[in-house]
Amino acid sequence: MIRYALRCDKAHEFESWFASAAGYDALRAAGHVACPACGSAHVEKALMAPQVATGEAAERPRLDQPQSEAEAALAELRRQIEANSEYVGMNFAAEARAIHDGDAPARSIYGETRGDEARKLIEDGVPVAPLPFLPGRKAN
């Protein structure tokens, strides 16, 4: 695999991975390399500094730890929701509607649903909101 720094004709810069240098050339020639910001297929390689491994073990960020205040806040929000709500999985839409209609006991729940089901809940006045994280079983 090879990673290239790329730039489109609108000066948007981005990176992408390719199987090989020849793979990049073939995809670009076929018009399959496009800017994610504007969609332009007029893409060129940009200057890129090589990554050089040193003899010392570099300190790498731990992916299981928040790397910013925003990530820490999201982690705390997730912890609070999971500690104080019941996970109902893919039954979220049906359970939220049952609670709203008085057919199930009132309680805090979270779970998963399709976009069309969520839209219907909102249209019907059921108070729901999307969460800014994946359920534990879908997260790494």
What is the DSSP secondary-structure string of the chain? -EEEEEEETT--EEEEEES-HHHHHHHHHTT----TTT----EEE---PPP---SS------TTS--SHHHHHHHHHHHHHHHHSEE-GGGHHHHHHHHHHTSS----EE----HHHHHHHHHTT------SS--TTT--
Average pLDDT, the chain: 87
Q: For residue 57, tell me if it sits in a domain.
A: no
Q: For residue 84, tell me if it sits in a domain.
A: yes
Q: For residue 75, tell me if it sits in a domain.
A: yes
Q: What pLDDT sits at residue 139?
A: 56
Domain that includes residue 111, residue range:
69-123
Residues 74 and 115 in one domain: yes
The C-alpha atoms of residue 106 and residue 85 are separated, in whole angstroms, by 11
Q: What pLDDT sits at residue 62?
A: 73
75 pLDDT band, cuts 50/70/90, is confident
Total domains in the fold of the chain = 2
Q: For residue 62, tell me if it sits in a domain.
A: no
pLDDT for 137 beyond 70: no
Residues 83 and 117 in one domain: yes
* Mean pLDDT, residues 21-46: 90
CA 116 to chain CA centroid, Å, is 20
Residues 79 and 112 in one domain: yes
Report the range of poorest mean pLDDT among 38-42, 49-53, 69-73, 132-136: 49-53
Cβ-contact 105, 133 below 8 angstroms:
no
Q: For residue 93, tell me if it sits in a domain.
A: yes
